[in-house]
Amino acid sequence: MLADSRLNAFSDIRYLLNSFVSPIHYAANLPRTMFNGMYERFNSRNTLMLENQRLKQEMFVQNSNLLLMEQLKQENSRLRNLLGSPFIRDEKKMVTEVMAVDSAPYTHQVMIDKGSVDGVYEGQPVISDKGIVGQINYVGAHNSRVLLLTDANNAIPVQAVRNDIRVIASGKGHLDMMQLEHIPTNTDLKVGDLLVTSGLGQRYPEGYPVGYISKIDNDNKRPFASIDIETTVEFDKLRYLLLVWPTGNELAPKEMSDGE
C-alpha cells in the first residue's frame, strides 16, 4: 500500500509538471510551426507563379504558331488567286515576291526577288491577279525594280472595253489612282468604264485590266476633261506578282520572247 501511495503521488506530480510544461513547450514550438506554415504557403505561391509563367510562355508560343499558320494560309490563298487568275493566258510567266517598297513621295517602285539570271529584262511587264502592276525599270543579277503604274513618271496606252476608245493613262503619284489627260470633253467615256491595255507600244500585252473611270470633270471653260481612274490593282497590298514574257514582243530578249 505504501508503494501504491508513492506511485500515485509521483503520477500526480508528473501530471502537474506536464500541465505546467506543455504550454511552455507549445509556446517554444510556435515560431517554428508558424515559420513552417509560412514557408509552405510561400513555396506553394512560388510554385503557382512559376507554373503561371510557364503556361503564359506556352500560350505565347502557341499563339505565335497560330499567327504563322494564319499567315501561311493567307500566302497560299494569294498564290492560288495569282496562279488561277482569269487574266493569265499563254505567255510565259514566273512568280516573284516583293522584297522592298520605295517610300519616296510620288515615286512608286518595288524591288522583287528575280533578276537577269531568271531572264528578267528592262521594260518587262509585271502583273497580279487583278491586272497590270507596272514594268521593270532596273535589272540586277538576282533582283529587279518595278516601276508601278501609279508612279508620276509612268504612262500606259489603254482602251475602253465598252467602245474601244484608245487613250493614255498616266500615274498621279497617288496609290490606286491614275488619270487621263488632254481628253476632249465630248469623248464618249463614262464613270464605271473599264480600261484595259491596248497593246500599242509593244510594252504590255493587250487586254489586261488597268482600272475603272471613277470621276470625270468637264469644265466648259476648258477644252479638255479631267478624268480619274481607280486602278484594279491594290498597290498598297502587293506581295506576289507575275513576270510576263509576251509572245512576239520585240522588246524582250530573243530567247525569251517565244516562250519555252
- Using CA atoms, how far apart are residues 241 and 132, in angstroms rounded to an integer? 10
Any idea which architecture 87-260 has in CATH? Beta Barrel (2.40)
- Let me know: does 163 contact 241? Beta carbons within 8 Å: no
Cell of 112: 522583287
Which of 41-45, 51-55, 115-119, 196-200 bottoms out in mean pLDDT, i.e. has the lowest?
41-45
* pLDDT for position 177: 94
* pLDDT for position 260: 41
Q: Mind listing the pLDDT tens digit for each residue in 135-157?
A: 999 999 999 999 999 999 999 99
Alpha helices in the chain (DSSP H): 2-83, 254-257
Phi, psi of 231 (to 5 degrees): -70, 150
Which of 22-31, 65-74, 120-129, 221-230 bottoms out in mean pLDDT, i.e. has the lowest?
22-31
* pLDDT for position 2: 42
CA distances from 25 to 9, 10, 17, 21, 33 (A): 24, 21, 12, 6, 12
CA distances from 197 to 4, 58, 160, 203, 210 (A): 126, 53, 9, 10, 7
CA distances from 244 to 14, 35, 85, 136, 248 (A): 108, 79, 14, 11, 12
Name the nearest CA neighbour of 211 among 241, 231, 184, 225.
231
* pLDDT for position 82: 72
More confident residue, 4 or 237: 237
Q: What angle do CA 53, 55, 56 make, to 5 degrees?
A: 65
Quote the mean pLDDT of the chain: 79
Looking at the predicted structure, is the pLDDT value of residue 254 above 60? no
Q: Which amino acid is at 251?
A: L
Residue 244 DSSP SS3: strand
* pLDDT for position 259: 43
